[in-house]
Structure 1
Amino acid sequence: MPTRLVKNEGPTVGNRPVGSDPPLRRPVRDRIVLLGAGPPTDRLRGWVVTIVLTMFAAVVRFARLGYPTDAGTPVFDEKHYVPQAWQMLRNGGFEDNPGYEVVVHPPLAKQLIALGEMAFGYNGFGWRAASALAGVLIVLLVIRVGRRLTRSTLLGGIAGVLVICDGLSHVQSRMGMLDVFSALFVVAAFATLIRDRDDVRARMAVVMAEGRIGDNDYGPRLGVRWWRLGTGVLVGLGCAVKWSGVYWLVAFALLTVLFDLSARRTAGVRRPWLGTLLRDVVPAIWPLVVVPLLVYLASWWAWFGSDTAIDRFGKVKNPNPFIPDALEGLIYYSGKVLAFHSGLTTSQGMHPWESKPWAWPMGLRPMLYHFAGEGQVTGCGANDCVSAVMLLGTPALWWPAYAVLGFAVWRIATRFDWRYAAVVVGYAAGILPWLINVERQMYFFYMTPVVPFLALATAIVMGEVLGRAGASRERRQTGLLVVGLWTALVVVNFVWLWPILNAVPITQEMWDAQLWLPSWRQ
């Protein structure tokens, strides 16, 4: 059976893509090919595309980064985290103001914001610099992950362009808030997870090539899996930004088990399920449970080392003599944080810009972060100018989301395509847990870590539109035209929205033209 690689859709055996092949009853040589398939071989071009797009992302994210402010002070929820970061900078990494009890998240993101303030001062650019850098790194990671998922430099580059031109990712990358850091560590953990999958399959291919796959009913031991360890560290850092990082910890743990099971079945292991349990799941407890917990606790280093941090010496009602006092204090503090979040419900008061998870996939309820008008703004060429920052997903990317996700689910159900499964699980981890308690106040910016998965899913679907490398010339040209127009539509849509994403002075008429849906208005 002939073997070939298709850049836009992944490696194939015969006429079937890797993700769809049944795992057993294949010749050994074909199973080795499936196991050992790696990223595209055009490494130089891949890095050129990555670097060029990352540099462009840096220009877009950092342009006029210090504007707007509220008379020199932070805007929207920056008012919580920016002063906390400044206090951390003065105190050596911790907050100690018990009168400011809106300290409801772990310290890592605020410490990163503080580094920007340390470098550039307490101003708009300073308190947003770390967020902008995180936004740039997200683009870089999405390009590399997209390239590895699709085995195509072109599609990896398109995924990066989609993230650059997404309004939600753009605005959150230019705000001194926490969610862009969650997105950074989530997509970085996803990148190491996918790299671990390829590494495991490459190791299995070596074992098969050496004829040792049948030496044990459970398959080979795989040794130290450094990429999986990296996933644990990065997910732990995500939890040290926001507790919602736990959602992706569970999701990625599930993915790695499925990847390992698939690798053992594809390799022809006689008892793949039990082999996965013994050889993969049990050893995963250390990197995917213990390591994230240790990383999370380590993020509180300044709090543990202080005498005046908030609730540092708090006591739980029934202390355990076997728990150190410092850890008991953290448990007490965490209980107060949990109580705060539990009480943050719609029945306690409705935020004018809150939304529910079913509105998030298409971005039906954005958020207004900043607005100035009625004589406060000039420079639009008219007497009545408006300046606004609206957290809004680019419609050309977000409105087809249900179609993209529906196609992905169909591919998972009918072709067992692992690429779609990976991005859908990552996407679902950012939405489904919030459906458990819809009474809670929720906001569209919770979708910030989900944007990379939407971009990756869209890029993979675009690979389907492009068609196989062996398709007719007319088919390939038509596919390339459709993908080019789709990508261009996202770019043009982003350019159109630029004024209300970046507080550019515009006329009242232009402001009205930007608000396409009634739900975009207050």
Structure 2
Amino acid sequence: MPGPEPVPGDRARGWIVTAFVTALAAITRFTMLNYPTDAKTPVFDEKHYAPQGWQVLTGGWIEDNPGYGLVVHPPVGKQMIAIGEALFGYTAWGWRFSAAAAGVVLVLLVVRIVRRLTRSTMLGAVAGLLLVVDGVTFVSSRLGMLDIFQAVFVVAAFGCLIVDRDDVRARMAKVHAQGRVLDSVWGPRFGVRWWRFGAGILLGLAVGTKWSGLYFIAFFGLMSVAFDLATRRAYRVQRPWVGTALRDIGPALYALVLVPLGVYLSTYWAWFASETGVYRHAVGSRIGHDGMFSFVPDALRSLWYYSASVLEFHSGLTNSAGNQHPWESKPWTWPMGLRPMLYYFADGERISGCDAEQCVKAVMLVGTPALWWVSLPVLGWGLWQLLVRRDWRWAAVLTGYGAGILPWFASLDRQMYYFYAVPMAPFLVMGVALVLGDILGSPHASTERRTTGLLVVCLYVGLVVANFVWLWPILTALPITPEHWNDQLWLPSWR
């Protein structure tokens, strides 16, 4: 019988290491945060979200300016941006502060999650360092856009579910020690699970940032139930499938469907309280009071109409309808970052500072190649570990990674961009960390084996850091020569 799985015993050192790696993240995310701007105005899609955040702050926490047309994303991300603007005003620091803070929190979460997954403080630190030097999350943390907020909520929910799994295993071990596992052919009830409840709250916030958070609700819900089934089977419950169906699925639906739904609706609190929110009074002005759903409160029916209009907008953003963008990408390019996203570019006589006659400044959303280009071997290794060795850690990491990419293959005609991959980036890092753990070897391996593994791990991490340093100019818009700019573009698809 399996026993409870202990977490690392170096609690104090674990938090010291976490604080150190998190400090590195803060230094990289906040350094020159107010640079670049477009003549002190937002760049790229900041031009949507920074003004919306400011209006949220100054207009009763809603976006009601008809100049925006239809507001096509839920309010949480704009509310987060508004917090920074409340602190620093309508400046680059203001509309980017919350994103940078979220990027720092994301690193902290990954350190702690990988530490728990691997039972190794060192591997947690390695994962955090890799995320610090990941170009995708780095750039996303330095612009006032929405994806970094969704990534934080998703990863935090994932972490809660990992802790919930460990907690359930500990409860089951206690029941087994008391000889009560077989009291019922279905196995015991697991009781109130606050970590899973917390995951539901966080997933609701993820959907309240972007609707693509729904994918993570579906994937994480299945993962949580699978964890419960695996626990019942591990302790030889007589009818584990029936026990899971009768005792686990219902609470999972409550925690990971109903709770997120309630949280999502609550994120519209200001819209419900307003008189001027987008489509706030659609019932009566655009649709009638009567009909099949007349028993539903007008406010909820108006929100449904608003949501249907948003869905119609997103559904119409297709290539076949003539919607094209020079930097769009499809999901099969995301694992290796084959089609990055150019956020900012400036050249000409007004650009100086590179000690040459002509200079270029650019911000490109691009994954650090030394990290992203190993994604396919990492995924292959992970699938082997999952299918052959039944490693639950890979089941969890691949679930998070899959939620970030697989659903997008269902709508390939739609306009898509590389920044949609931001929420899956932390799961790539987790997968790489698991592979590095296998390379490092078991703590019980020979000294020679551990030393060789440690050397390989250090060389790889050093390569990723060096690659990030090389990319720094095109991640932060430092002035470089046109020749240097061309040297940075390693693949034809990067141009």
1:319 touches 1:328 (CA, 8 Å); kept in 2?
no
Aligned-partner Cα distance in 1 for 2:429–2:104: 15
| 1:338 alignment counterpart | 311
Q: Give the letter aligned to residue 279 of structure 1.
A: R
Shift of 1:38: 2.5
CA-to-aligned-CA distance 1:82-140 (integer Å, 9 cap, x gap): 11111111111101122322410000100110110010010111100000000000000
Structure 2 CA distance for aligned equivalents of residues 350 and 103 of structure 1: 21
Aligned position for 2:66: 98
Of 315, 334, 342, the match for 1:360: 334
Question: 247-256 or 281-290: which moved more?
Answer: 281-290
Task: Tell me which residue corresponds to 1:8.
Answer: none
- Cα offset, 1:145, TM superposition: 0.2
CA distance in 1: counterparts of 2:241 and 2:301, whole angstroms: 40
- Report what 1:28 is aligned to: none
Deviation larger for 470-479 or 510-519 = 470-479
Aligned to 2:494: 520
Aligned equivalent of 1:70: 38
Alignment of 1:448-467 (within 5 A): 448-467=422-441
1:442 aligns with 2:442: no
Q: Which residue of 1 aligns with 2:261?
A: 293
Shift of 1:78: 0.6
Q: Does residue 256 in structure 1 map to residue 229 in structure 2?
A: no
Moved more, 222-231 or 311-320: 311-320
- 8 Å Cα contact 1:80/1:102 also seen in 2: no
Match of 2:134 in 1: 166
**Which residue identity is paired with 2:371?**
L
Which of 374, 385, 388 lines up with 2:362 in the alignment?
388
Q: Distance in 2 between matches of 1:245 and 1:184?
A: 11
Report the alpha carbon displacement of residue 302 of structure 1 after superposing the two structures with TM.
0.4
Q: Secondary structure at the match of 2:42?
A: coil
- For 2:387 and 2:396, how far apart are their aligned partners in 1? 13
Superposition map of 1:268-347 within 5 A: 268-315=236-283, 316=287, 318=291, 320-347=293-320
Correspondence for 1:509 among 454, 465, 483: 483
Q: Which amino acid aligns with 1:43?
A: R
1:482 maps onto 2:482 in alignment:
no
- Give 1:375 shift: 1.2
2:124 is matched with which residue: 149, 156, 162? 156
- Residue 390 of structure 1 aligns to a residue whose secondary structure is strand
1:179 matches 2:166:
no
Q: Distance in 2 between matches of 1:168 and 1:102?
A: 28
Among candidates 265, 276, 282, match of residue 233 of structure 2: 265
Aligned letter for 1:51? A
Query: Which residue of 1 is the match for residue 98 of structure 2?
Result: 130
Measure, in 1, the Cα distance between the counterparts of 2:56 and 2:329: 31
Q: What is the rounded CA distance, in whole Å, between the counterparts of 2:444 and 2:128 in structure 1?
A: 26
Partner of 1:430, secondary structure, is: helix
| 2:220 corresponds to 1:220 | no
Match of 1:387, SS? strand
> For the Cα contact (< 8 Å) 1:173–1:180, is it kept in 2?
yes
1:488 to 1:102, Cα distance in 2 relative to 1, 3 A: farther
2:363 aligned counterpart, secondary structure: strand
Alignment check: 8 A CA contact 1:32 1:209 kept: no
User: Which one of 381, 389, 393 corresponds to residue 419 of structure 1?
Assistant: 393
Give distance in 2, aligned partners of 1:95 and 1:296.
Answer: 17
How much does 1:383 deviate?
1.6
Are 1:81 and 2:49 counterparts? yes
Q: Secondary structure at the match of 2:248?
A: helix
Q: Hey, what does 2:372 align to over in structure 1?
A: 398
Instruction: Give the CA deviation at 1:511.
Output: 0.9
* Residue equivalent to 1:119: 87
Correspondence for 2:23: 55
Judge conservation of contact 1:303–1:309 (CA < 8 Å) in 2: yes
Supply the AA of the counterpart residue of 1:169.
T
Give distance in 1, aligned partners of 2:376 and 2:169.
32
The CA deviation string for residues 2-39 of structure 1, in whole angstroms up to 9 with x for no partner, is: xxxxxxxxxxxxxxxxxxxxxxxxxxxxx242xx1132
Contact 1:131 1:181 in 2 (8 A): yes
Q: Secondary structure of 2:484's partner?
A: helix
Q: 2:70·2:278 contact (CA, 8 Å) conserved in 1?
A: no
1:214 and 1:508 map into 2 onto residues whose CA distance is 72
Deviation at 1:376, TM superposition (A): 2.0
Q: Can you list the C-alpha shifts for 1:383-437, whole angstroms capped at 9, x where unaligned?
A: 2111110000000000010000011001111011100110001101111111001
Q: Secondary structure at the match of 2:442?
A: coil
Q: Is the 8 Å Cα contact of residues 219 and 399 (structure 2) preserved in structure 1?
A: yes
Are the equivalent residues in 2 in contact too, given 1:58–1:133 (CA < 8 A)?
A: yes
Which whole-Å deviations, capped at 9, do the CAs of 1:414-462 have from their partners, x for residues lacking one? 0111001100011011111110010000000001000110000000011
Q: Where in structure 2 are the equivalents of 1:488-503 lying within 5 Å?
A: 488-503=462-477
Cα shift readout 1:316-367 (whole Å, capped 9, x = no counterpart): 4656111101111101110110010011011222101000000000000001
Structure 2 CA distance for aligned equivalents of residues 484 and 102 of structure 1: 50
Residue 324 of structure 2 corresponds to 350
**Unpaired segments ≥5 residues, structure 2:** none
Distance in 2, Cα, partners of 1:169 & 1:468: 30
The answer to whether 1:41 aligns with 2:9 is yes
Aligned residue number for residue 372 of structure 1? 346
Question: What letter matches 1:219 in structure 2?
Answer: G
SS of match in other structure, 1:80? helix
Partner of 1:410: 384
**What SS is found at the alignment partner of 1:370?**
strand
Deviations 1:34-68 (A, max 9, x none): xx113211111110110111011001000000011
Partner of residue 16, structure 1: none
Match of 1:3 in 2: none
Letter in 2 for 1:132: A
Any unmatched runs of 5+ in structure 1?
1-30
| Aligned partner of residue 181 in structure 2, secondary structure | coil
Whether the 8 Å CA contact 1:186–1:234 is kept in 2: the answer is: yes
Partner secondary structure for residue 182 of structure 2: coil
One-letter amino acid of the counterpart of residue 456, structure 1: M
| CA distance in structure 1 between the partners assigned to 2:70 and 2:378 by the alignment | 38
Query: Quick one: distance in 1 between partners of 2:79 and 2:427?
Result: 26
* 2:28 maps to amino acid: V
Choose from 224, 233, 245 the match for 2:213: 245
User: For each residue in 1:457-486, what CA deviation from the matched residue of structure 2 results, as whole angstroms up to 9, or x when unmatched?
Assistant: 000011111111222222111111111111
For residues 180 and 436 of structure 1, what CA distance do their matches in structure 2 show?
A: 23
